[in-house]
Structure 1
């Protein structure tokens, strides 16, 4: 496999918390699965923020620029490891690795795209 893209992003959790207060904002950026997962957690805005950072990192790493954030989904495997899926035919042969980290104030993510 060859690395064809690398992206990283950091976001303030307060920014995502403010965004979440706007009607319909979450559903424009996140999948229903991401929203349900995050809102069920104690630190829901941290979980939303780290998913937002992951979407930004993946967006930066992809070899094509036009993709909606809602088409990038960040979930967790049973062992807790994050997993990214991209709902776009152009991504079918790509492997996307992602690392997530968050605190009360910041969320960060790095994505590597391989082919």
Structure 2
């Protein structure tokens, strides 16, 4: 497989916490499943922030523009390992690898796109 894209992003958790207070903000960016997963966690804003960073990283790594953040969905396997799905026909044949990390103040993600 050939690497065709690399993206990384760093987000301040407090920025996402402030964003989440705006009516309808989460629903514009996150899927219902992502929202439910994050809000059920003790450190919900860290989880929201790391998923936001993941969406940014994937967006930067894709070899085309025009994918809505809501169409980039971050989930976890039973093992806890993160995975990403992009709802866009142009992603056929692409493999997207993602890694996530967060602290109390920051969340980071890196995405690699392969063909």
TM-score normalised by length of structure 1: 0.99
Deviation at 1:59, TM superposition (A): 0.1
- Runs ≥4 residues deviating over 6 A: none
Q: Provide, for residues 58-109 of structure 1, a one-character-per-residue CA deviation record: whole Å limited to 9, x for no partner.
A: 0000001111000000000000000000000001210000000000000000
- Residue 44 of structure 2 corresponds to residue 16 of structure 1: no
Q: Which consecutive unaligned segments of at least 5 residues does structure 2 have?
A: none
- Looking at structure 1, the residues matched to 92 and 55 of structure 2 have their Cα atoms a distance apart, in angstroms, of 17
Q: Which residue of 2 aligns with 1:56?
A: 56
Size of the aligned set, in residue pairs, is 115
Q: Which consecutive unaligned segments of at least 5 residues does structure 1 have?
A: none
Q: Which residue of 2 aligns with 1:103?
A: 103
TM-score normalised by length of structure 2: 0.99
